[in-house]
Amino acid sequence: MKGLIQRVSEASVTVNGEKISAIGPGLLLLLGVEKDDTQNEARDLCRKILSYRVFPDEQGRMNVNVQDSGGSLLIVPQFTLAADTGSGTRPGFSLAAAPDMANSLYQNFVARARAELGESRVGEGRFGADMKVALVNDGPVTFMLETGKKG
């Protein structure tokens, strides 16, 4: 499972011209689910993202996580993060999870994040939709986080 996090001043998701979710300061998470991922990877990545220290402390060092900063989390499903880009000039998607499994793990991730941060601090995109994602990247600060690979 892969998560691209961006520290944002604000972010939103629009589907069919309707803004379905928006946050103020916090993290925008683009979440990719791979075919070998399980609930364990969802749990581990959620824990890592919520505790990852990317917000400044009193000295200006990245030493505060989204939970302690009071920020929000906007979770957007992003199957293209699971693309195989190792060769050629066209991505392959053989590493991506099947849609039903990916949606289930995505929903599991969202539920875990809401249990930790609270319902009002977690927004989400719409699985399988053509989404327009807007953000103001703060910093810019962007990190790719992954769960450990099995095998």
Where in the sequence numbering do the catalytic residues fall? 78-80
Nearest-10 Cα torsion for 115, 138, 23, 53: 10
Chain centre distance of CA 131: 14
Peptide bond into 140 cis (omega under 30): yes
H/E element, 102: helix 99-117
Angle (CA) 17-107-71 rounded to 5° is 70
β-strand partners of 133: 13
